[in-house]
Structure 1
């Protein structure tokens, strides 16, 4: 025998009814949530800008995306960079961005070319590559300048694999965001 449910019983929400939760909030609660979100985003941006100032590098943290620097660095290693002008650079591992490409490249300085006027230029190559990087530089460019490079100061092995997975599998990125959002909503309800 099947029993009918009592009229007017309230079933628990799944925590995924975001718009229903927003409609239930008064203006003060909604402003508070928006302000909290803005503070989180602005804090992250301030930390990033602070790292840029402290390290002198436009990108103070990068992820190694290829195996061109093995065995020194492996795919997924997280690198910490600086770009202080007084640092010696010959033989060091550097990160540089090529004009027209969004992704920075991690390679070693193999040659330093110093002019009489004090200008210093560099040639790079991946440890695991056969030839130098002149084919990677913008057309007509044969050398990198000090302003173009950041020096690798430290690393955390394989921490950047999350970034690589999210770039290779965009559905994973959205699933991870959905799980994190659901977790936040469920924690808020309890």
Structure 2
């Protein structure tokens, strides 16, 4: 009976581990770019700590009221805010965070568009941020090794005289 409980627990932990890792890495194979939410400017649409998947796109998909992910000016700072106005002649758009009282200062060029949020998973951004660091990668690999060892540990410990204990 203990073996069944142990196998059930380790199986559930392994499934959860695989699910989290799949959510972190598989969407990239579909061309989506994962990004984690660092500020509350888009609350309640995108919560701090969420992982959002960005579908690459350009100005062809730009619409008023649609969230867009873009770089700010000539920096590497990436922002996801809602489009509030589009100036097609100047190829510029204006944005505002859902939680912000005023619109963002200045317009953004169409050339700065990275894409459009497709999916958001709350709290997974914290895991993604951690996993992107060296220590996080080490812990992910070590965690998998521990789970695999745990799944065989009960059988190893209950062997008696060359035969495993019957349940």
With normalisation by structure 2, the TM-score equals 0.56
Match of 2:94 in 1: 123
1:151 Cα deviation (Å)? 1.6
Which structure has the higher relative contact order (CA within 8 Å, separation 6+)? 2
Cα 1:85–1:145 change in 2 (3 A) is: closer
Separation in 2, partners of 1:100, 1:184: 43
1:170 Cα deviation (Å)? 7.0
Match of 1:159 in 2: 124
1:34-45 alignment runs, 5 A limit: none
Match of 1:109 in 2: 83
Pairing 1:143–2:108 present? yes
Separation in 1, partners of 2:91, 2:53: 23
Among 75, 82, 85, the alignment partner of 1:100 is 75
SS of alignment partner, residue 91 of structure 1: coil
Separation in 2, partners of 1:169, 1:148: 26
Separation in 1, partners of 2:141, 2:109: 38
Cα 1:154–1:176 change in 2 (3 A) is: closer
1:171 Cα deviation (Å)? 5.0
Could you say which structure has the higher strand fraction? 2
Cα 1:104–1:71 change in 2 (3 A) is: same
1:160 Cα deviation (Å)? 2.3
Of structures 1 and 2, the larger Rg is shown by 1
Cα 1:184–1:134 change in 2 (3 A) is: farther
With normalisation by structure 1, the TM-score equals 0.50
Structure 1, gaps ≥5 residues long: 1-43, 53-58, 136-141
1:125 Cα deviation (Å)? 2.0
Match of 1:63 in 2: 36
